Amino acid sequence: MSRKKTTKKRSKKTAKRRLSKKSAVAKHSRWKLLWRFSLFIFGLGLGMLLPWALILNQTVKEGFEGLTWERPSRVYARPLSLYSGLQISAQDLETELRSAAYRKSSNPSIPGSYSQQGNRFRIISRAFEFADGKQSSQRIELQLQAGVVSKIQDIDLNTLSLVRLDPAEIASIYPLDKQDRELVPLEDAPHLLVAGIQAVEDRRFNQHHGVDPKAIARALWVDIREGRIEQGGSTLTQQLVKNLFLDSSQTIIRKLNEAIMAVLMELHFSKSEILEAYINQVYMGQSGAYAIHGFARAARFYFDQSLQQLNTEQIALLIGMVKGASWYNPRRNPERALKRRDLVLQVFADTGLIDKPGLHAALQRPLGVSKQANGLKIKASGFIDLVKRQLRERYAESDLRREGLKILTTLEPVTQLAAEKAVAEGLDDLTARGLPKQLQAAMIISDVQNGEIHALVGDRVAGSRGFNRALDARRQIGSIMKPLVYLLALEHPEQFNLLSKLEDTAVDIRLANGDHWVPKNYTNKTHGTVSLLDALVHSWNLASVDLGMKFGPTHILQSLQRYGLSVEALPVPSLILGALELTPLEVSRIYQSLASGGYSVPLRAVTAIVAEDGALEESFRLTMTPLQNRQAVAVLNYALTQVVAEGTAQALPALMGRPIIIAGKTGTSNDRKDSWFVGYNNQRLGVVWVGRDDNKPARVTGSSAALRLWAKAFRGLSMADWRADYPRGVELHWVEPSSFSLTDANCPDAVAIPFINTYLPENKSECLQAKSTQGGKLWNWFDRKTKTQEN
Amino acid sequence: MRLIIISLFLLLFLSACASTGPAPSNRTPPPVLTEVETEIRQPASEESAGIQVQPLQNPAVRQLLASASASESAGQLEQAAQMLERGLRIEPRDPELLQRMAEIRLQQEAWQQAISFATRSFDMGAQAGELCARNWRTMALANEYLKDPQAAAAARTHLDDCMRQRPQKY
């Protein structure tokens, strides 16, 4: 710039001097000089320009060839499978749809939309690449009846047995440059977008060589007329070059560089390569800390839709936004955006991309931008934390941030929301009841059968990214340890059954270090000789110590290893009462194997990882290990249903607002610092911990705090009754608990409880003795079962 | 009479096992795919003619089983496993799904998992008939691959029970 100005000045001076001599010769030599001088300047310019151009050439070539965009990985919830017989309420189905950013409409016409009339849903799912292959969009009609899917049909009224909806996107793992992008190959971009962007931004894209002199001239003319720099006149290539390699300053040097680089780019790369880069690079707005780049991500961000599904006016809006993504932001500046969109639509019509009726129809329609908080944005930060930890075992952090992986997880939106709500509201309730304000909680809900984690909450504030108590809070487990001790006993059916006698009396145990351990019952009362069943159901400490000491702390500690836990704890007698610290996740792991009837299944948060191109990158297989003690587990599970029926968790049905059969166990640690509740049926396992981070007394008990949160979470979730399914060798027998003896179904106080093989109580009730002498016979299995149910 | 026929059949079958049964030591994996057919499915189906147990199945599960079969035939084992896992999410205790998973794991040479799923299938199933035979045959075969002839032999002895017992659960 400065160089040019000085040369101009100098030539003017020269001209002045020479002009005074008014001869033809002088005139001639003057022109000659001017010509020479110009040549010199030109040569100088060329000499300097050439190396400069070479440098730019290198930048363009290497920069564009090595152009690899980092694409964030997306984390998805589990997809909802719909089939006849599925239990789901209309409300929950709607929650699922909204969390997957489905839009409600009276007449759904595009993928990702639905309508609802009472129990009747019409849904258009989006296409999605699952671990087992790509699934295309489906239009379905679904009928619910009393909270159960009764019918699913396609638009031709064919019955469909199974439909899988595309899952909710619950998080992204972004590149460090904070660019949010979804790549789309040029051939997959809608024709209207590709043609439209040229019509609006660069009509002669296919003719020019990077720079369009006509457009520049026109822009220059406008600028001069308006007296300011407004019109760009930049080609798409120039815009791309600017976005990729240059800053956005408005200097001539930058413009010059841009022009040279654009020409160079066209020299090295094809029009389609440039266009493809353009549609993936263009800046389209800001989502919090992340910059939206490219049309594909913009389509998701503004319309919750894939690029291919956008209609005319949506494409027009996005193209319009290229001129200024924040100025024309349709969420913040809807009127401005609408004006711009309509202008673009007009250009579409003028260039023949759309016809007149198409134009008029599109002009009539609203912007159609989704609300940013469309429906439900699931926070689930505690769960995402677990996902990341599981991924880090196999993936480098950098790969997760740039490879555009699809991470398919096990999160159930409805369950997660219920858990988050239960923790937040439940703790507020407890505070209102006079418990400390500092209470914190963790909750994990998992699938008993396949170990999939449906919900995980690690903080009372959903979305908090701080300390994840579900994974990291190592707390004393208290009485939820007891079932593991009782299980050890039941594994020796020749010695122990549910009616075995235990002594619930004061003990004084001398420890190795010379101290004395004098455990007490919670109520400070003793109960004398009690059955193993009663001791567990009422969580009596002294009877449990009596039982536990028969095995010894070392043996008990060792038994924990079969749950895959390497627990660091001292083999002290207080272990029997739960003097042992575990995280809620570890507790879930232990109880999963009990709830499933003795099949240990690793807990999973991730099921599969799908690469950007749809190839299955990795699947986290379902694995299981049958434990050897399945008979004992079945008997234990019966006892734990009694904890809820008549023991320490008997408040549960009332808290749930309905009668329910659940297996469960409450736990309270010393000084009431920790409150635990573990409850399960054959499908789901819920583990809840409540306490204070500073480990000070929280004045909580298992039944006062954790149980309430558990009930709050499961109140709204479908939770069937526990179904006892006794393995071979476990049978129900009628007993009279008060006398620890066998009895007859028709005798008073008869209860049917499970026993392993032929290891039955030796005593017979008086009633049974009387009957036996009358020639009583064994009841067959079916009769017994019916009678149990009557009871 | 039927008992005699079954016993005779079993005797024949057991002797066949003794003569042509695979020797665990010189096995070289894996034409396991064909083995699943020839050593598990076919014989189980033949043995159990007359003792069929066919529980009602959820249509969604039926569809997934069909997809899994198609994937399996096409040699896409991981995809088949994915289908079966989907089925198990719907019916986690379906013994057929569990056994099919065991057979897929066998072909994937995940012997221990094959045993686990077959065990679970047996626990959840009618413990009689064809499925029962497939359960124990899977366990036997997987144990052979694991070079545990004792466990394999023990599994084979249970085959008798499959044929003797009447279905109880369905």
Q: What angle do CA A509, A511, A514 make, to 5 degrees?
A: 115
Give the amino acid at A303: F
Element (H, E) at A52: helix A24-65
Using the predicted structure, report yes or no on whether residue A43 has a pLDDT greater than 70. yes
**What range does the domain containing B114 cover?**
28-164
Q: Which two tokens stand for residue B142?
A: 């997987």
Gap between the Cα atoms of A174 and A288, Å rounded = 12
Is A685 among the domain residues? yes
Partner residue opposite A450 with nearest CB, options B63, B92, B112: B92
User: Is A616 in contact with B123 (Cβ distance < 8 A)?
Assistant: no
CA distance A161 to chain B (A): 5
Is B2 among the domain residues? no
Is B16 among the domain residues? no
φ, ψ of residue A164 to 5 degrees: the values are -115, 125
A2 and chain B in contact, CB less than 8 A: no
A288 and chain B in contact, CB less than 8 A: no
H and E: helices and strands count for chain B: 10, 0
Gap between the Cα atoms of A186 and A194, Å rounded = 8
Residue A372, pLDDT score: 61
Catalytic option among A94, A182, A201, A276:
A201
Is A94 in the same domain as A121? Answer: yes
* Per-residue DSSP letter, B41: I
Q: Which residues of A touch B82 (CB under 8 A)?
A: 131-132, 608, 619
What average pLDDT does this structure show over A723-732? 92
Is A217 among the domain residues? yes
User: Is B63 in contact with A162 (Cβ distance < 8 A)?
Assistant: yes
| Last residue in a domain, options A168, A189, A205 | A168
| Last residue in a domain, options A124, A149, A168 | A168
Using the predicted structure, report yes or no on whether residue A668 has a pLDDT greater than 90. yes
Q: Which two tokens stand for residue A80?
A: 């909802």
CA distance B5 to chain A (A): 27
Give the amino acid at B32: V
Q: What angle do CA B28, B30, B31 make, to 5 degrees?
A: 115
Cα-based distances in Å from A99 to A37, A269, A413, A605, A726: 72, 42, 7, 18, 39
Is A163 in the same domain as A278? Answer: no
Is A259 in the same domain as A227? Answer: yes
Is A500 among the domain residues? no
Is A116 in the same domain as A131? Answer: yes
pLDDT, tens digit, 9 for 90 and up, residues A131-182: 988 899 999 999 999 999 999 999 899 999 999 999 999 998 988 888 899 8
**What range does the domain containing A9 cover?**
2-65
Residue A774, pLDDT score: 64
User: What ipTM score was computed for the predicted complex, to two decimals?
Assistant: 0.82
Locate tokens 């583990």: which residue?
A687
Give the amino acid at A327: W
Catalytic option among A125, A479, A544, A574:
A479
Chain A: residue whose CA lies nearest to B80: A132
Is A692 in the same domain as A736? Answer: no
Number of structural domains found in chain B: 1
Residue A92, pLDDT score: 95
Partner A, chain B 126-155, Cβ-Cβ below 8 Å: 127
Q: Which residues of B touch A625 (CB under 8 A)?
A: 112, 116
Length of chain B: 170
A interface test, pick of B86, B121, B158, B168 with most A CB neighbours within 10 Å: B86
CA distance B66 to chain A (A): 12
Using the predicted structure, report yes or no on whether residue A359 has a pLDDT greater than 50. yes
Residue B54, pLDDT score: 58
Pairing of strands A113-117, A103-104: parallel
Helix (H, G, I), strand (E, B) or coil at A735: strand
Cα pseudo-dihedral A138, A143, A146, A148, rounded to 10: -30
Q: How many C-alpha atoms does A531 have within 13 Å on its Cβ side?
A: 16
Cα-based distances in Å from A221 to A199, A217, A262, A560, B85: 20, 6, 22, 83, 67
Is B170 among the domain residues? no
3-state helix, strand, coil in chain B (%, to 5): 70, 0, 30
On the 0-12 / 13-18 / 19+ scale of CB atoms within 10 A, B75 is: exposed
pLDDT, tens digit, 9 for 90 and up, residues A177-230: 888 998 899 999 999 999 999 999 988 898 888 888 887 787 777 777 766 555
Is A94 among the domain residues? yes
Q: Could you tell me the CATH number of the domain that includes residue A669?
A: 3.40.710.10
Gap between the Cα atoms of A62 and A83, Å rounded = 53
Is A489 among the domain residues? no
Number of structural domains found in chain A: 5
Pairing of strands A113-117, A581-582: unpaired
Is A10 in the same domain as A145? Answer: no
CA distance B124 to chain A (A): 9
Least confident of A165-179, A279-293, A444-458, A776-790: A776-790
Is A283 in the same domain as A350? Answer: yes
A interface test, pick of B64, B71, B85 with most A CB neighbours within 10 Å: B85
Is A686 in the same domain as A753? Answer: no
Q: What angle do CA A178, A180, A184 make, to 5 degrees?
A: 145
Is B21 among the domain residues? no
Q: Could you tell me the CATH number of the domain that includes residue B130?
A: 1.25.40.10
For the question of residue A258 being annotated catalytic, the response is no
Q: Which two tokens stand for residue A508?
A: 């004084």
- Give the rounded percent of residues in chain A with a pLDDT score beyond 70: 93
- Give the rounded percent of residues in chain A with a pLDDT score beyond 90: 65
Is A430 among the domain residues? yes
Position B101 confidence tier, pLDDT thresholds 50, 70, 90: very high
A621 and chain B in contact, CB less than 8 A: yes
Q: Output the average pLDDT for chain B.
A: 80
User: Is B86 in contact with A81 (Cβ distance < 8 A)?
Assistant: yes
Is B140 among the domain residues? yes
- Residues sharing a CB contact under 8 Å with residue B170, sequence separation 6 or more, in sequence order: B53, B55, B126
State CA A457 to chain mean position distance: 12
| Last residue in a domain, options A168, A192, A216 | A168
- Residues sharing a CB contact under 8 Å with residue A356, sequence separation 6 or more, in sequence order: A349
Strand ranges for A245-399 from DSSP E: 283-287, 290-293
* Per-residue DSSP letter, A560: G
Position A306 confidence tier, pLDDT thresholds 50, 70, 90: confident
Residue B56, pLDDT score: 65
For the question of residue A201 being annotated catalytic, the response is yes
Q: A737 preceded by cis ω (within 30°)?
A: no
Nearest Cα neighbor of A55 from A213, A245, A336, A218 is A245
Is A97 in the same domain as A157? Answer: yes
Using the predicted structure, report yes or no on whether residue A83 has a pLDDT greater than 50. yes
Q: Which two tokens stand for residue A654?
A: 């009332």
Strand ranges for A5-48 from DSSP E: none
- For A310-322, give the secondary structure using H, E and C: CCHHHHHHHHHHC
Is A321 in the same domain as A349? Answer: yes
Is A691 in the same domain as A756? Answer: no
Is A403 in the same domain as A283? Answer: no
Give the amino acid at A179: Q
Gap between the Cα atoms of A676 and A698, Å rounded = 12
Q: Output the average pLDDT for chain A.
A: 88
User: Is B113 in contact with A624 (Cβ distance < 8 A)?
Assistant: yes
Contacts 24+ apart (CB under 8 A), B112-119: B112/A625, B112/B142, B112/B146, B113/A621, B113/A623, B113/A624, B114/B138, B114/B139, B114/B141, B114/B142, B115/B139, B115/B142, B115/B143, B116/A599, B116/A623, B116/A624, B116/A625, B116/A626, B117/A624, B118/B142, B119/A626
Position B85 confidence tier, pLDDT thresholds 50, 70, 90: very high
Is A610 among the domain residues? yes
pLDDT, tens digit, 9 for 90 and up, residues A520-529: 998 899 999 9
Q: Could you tell me the CATH number of the domain that includes residue A338?
A: 1.10.3810.10
Element (H, E) at A643: helix A630-646
Position A11 confidence tier, pLDDT thresholds 50, 70, 90: very low
